[in-house]
Amino acid sequence: MHRSCSRRRELAGTTQRDGCPSDAGHKGGARTGFRILQSVSTDVHENLALEDWLYEKDDDVQRRRRTLLLWRNGPCVVIGRHQNPWAECDVRLVRSGHATLARRRSGGGTVYHDLGNVNLTFFSSRTGYDRASNLRSVVSALGDAFPRLALTVSPRHDLLLDGRYKVSGTAAKVGGKVAYHHLTLLGSADTIAMSRLLKSSHTNGLRSRATASVPAQVRNLCDADNSVSCEALSFAIARYYATQHGGAQHIIEMVDPSDETTFPGIAKLHDELSGWEWIYGRTPEFTIEQEWNVPDDGDEKRITFCLHVKRGQIQDCKLHVPNEWLPTSLLDALIHSLIGVPFWPDNVFLALVNLKDTCKRTEEVKHNWEIDLAIKGIFVLLIQLIIHFLINYIILKKFVRCNGGGFGMLLAN
Ligand SMILES: Nc1ncnc2c1ncn2[C@@H]1O[C@H](COP(=O)(O)OC(=O)CCCC[C@@H]2CCSS2)[C@@H](O)[C@H]1O
């Protein structure tokens, strides 16, 4: 890392300096065995790119120098590497601008972040990687600074307040030589937004082998001690970390993940992490099935609609409607118009709504103008669908190419 652009904040004293000597991270000229960094960015994709960059490219991390990174994000939902966003959160709400969606490199479940949540990443050698020890340090650090907080480490490495409320979730990435363990810490996050966002938009009928989150009852630390703030949490943890690793005094080095000079190649990592291909396209394949009953001459008929999605695109589509309702050729055309289309709830939702309308229309038609109009209706539906898909598909593809993602903005319009 070229450090001349980072800023340093000396926490043991009161000084905060801008511009630093080129040996930032060296204490009094002598290199310490550890380093504490804090990101100035609150953009989740920038911060994940920074984490990635440090893990992949940073000389100090590669030389197994212990590094603690502190970071916070604006409102976002962060899914694990092997998760399905449609199963884990309300994608529609996310896309309407309420939060950013990110897929991280580590496994595990889905969490919500905002500025009331602090993230800590402990980089170490693979052999020095020890989640339990990191968590014990966090508990000790917070115990020293906020004696009123009763924190414990659960068997699955969550941090619990009063033995039951989750205040921190953990995940990790372990490579051949280096590793990181990262965790959240709920200081004063918006837990109402959290529960709204972490509700699947497709609770019924979604089948997949993706990792499922383990929902928990959460609480903010500030609810147990109102002197808790994210700044105070970061300070307490940084101070403890330094003491633990032999530093009498500690310095927090402020780093800017949008600075390509300091972190060469970081923009590429950012583009990858914020692109559709990574966030949605990496979803393990899944099947989604919807069914509903439609009245038919005083009776009820069942319609089923089943999509198989691979790499974020519809690979297969099955639609069963009563034989007499739709001519097979049109049914096939409808199915084929969906194949290869990115699985985008709007696309599928529209197809379902149109299909429902068609069925209703078919019902009316049976009684009024018979099959002639039904075919016309379906034809109109097909044209609508095809136009809709073409518009979405072409524009979205173009958009993704230009912006590396950001469907939310487009679809919100
Ligand atoms: N910010 C935060 N902190 C603690 N717990 C949370 C948070 N957001 C949601 N939750 C609760 O955890 C479960 C999911 O628990 P689950 O155990 O399934 O997943 C995790 O804990 C993953 C932690 C990942 C930590 C990374 C560190 C830096 S980037 S993200 C969710 O349903 C909520 O009930």
- In-domain check, residue 50: yes
CB 319 within 8 A of CB 335: yes
Q: Strand, coil or helix: what is 150?
A: coil
Q: If you average pLDDT over residues 389-407, what whole number do you get?
A: 44
Assess whether 221 and 136 both reside in one domain. Answer: yes
- Do the domain assignments include residue 342? yes
H or E element that contains 48: helix 44-57
Mean pLDDT of 298-311: 87
Q: Kindly report the CATH number assigned to the domain that includes residue 236.
A: 3.30.930.10
Exposed/middle/buried for 155, CB within 10 Å: 0-12, 13-18, 19+?
Answer: exposed
Domain that holds residue 320: 286-412
Say which CATH number the domain at 344 has: 3.30.390.50
From the CA of 184, how far away is ligand 1's center (Å)?
7
Shared domain check, 320 and 270: no
- Write the pLDDT tens digit of every residue in 193-247: 999 999 987 667 899 999 999 999 999 999 999 999 999 999 999 999 999 998 7
Q: How far is CA 335 from CA 70, 285, 392, in A?
A: 49, 19, 17
Predicted confidence band of residue 373 (pLDDT cuts 50, 70, 90): very low
- Rounded Cα–Cα distance for residues 355 and 54 (Å): 50
| Residue 2 lies inside a defined structural domain of this protein | no
Residues 235 and 217 in one domain: yes
Q: Considering only CA atoms, which of 27, 50, 89 is closest in space to residue 242?
A: 27
Which residue's alpha carbon is nearest to atom 4 within ligand 1? 168
166 and 293 housed in the same domain: no
The number of the ligand 1 atom at minimal distance from the alpha carbon of 168 is: 4
Q: For residue 223, report the distance from its CA to the centre of ligand 1, in Å.
A: 18
Q: Are residues 87 and 209 in the same domain?
A: yes
β-strand 100-103 against 117-125: which pairing, if any?
A: unpaired
Question: Do 217 and 323 share a domain, yes or no?
Answer: no
CA distance 388 to 390: 6
Spacing, Cα 370 to ligand 1 middle (Å):
55
My answer on whether 367 and 251 are in the same domain is no
Residue 33: predicted pLDDT: 84
Residue 249 has pLDDT above 90, yes or no: no
Which of 104-118, 273-287, 292-306 is predicted with the least confidence, judged by mean pLDDT? 292-306
Domain boundary among 233, 248, 279: 279
Reference 101, options 173, 48, 32, 178; nearest CA is: 48
Do 344 and 291 belong to one domain? yes
Tokens of 117: 């949540």
Can you tell me whether residue 356 is helix, strand or coil? helix
- Domain stop point among 240, 257, 279: 279
Residues 255, 402, single domain; the answer is no
89 lines ligand 1 (CB under 6 A): no
Domain shared by 201 and 306, yes or no: no
For residue 232, the CA-to-ligand 1 centroid distance in Å is 21
Identify whether the C-beta of residue 42 lies closer than 8 Å to the C-beta of residue 70.
Answer: no
How far apart, in Å, are the Cα atoms of 405 and each of 91, 101, 265, 275, 322?
14, 11, 19, 4, 39
Given 235, 254, 279, the domain boundary residue is 279
Number of folded domains in the chain?
2
> Does residue 1 sit within a domain?
no
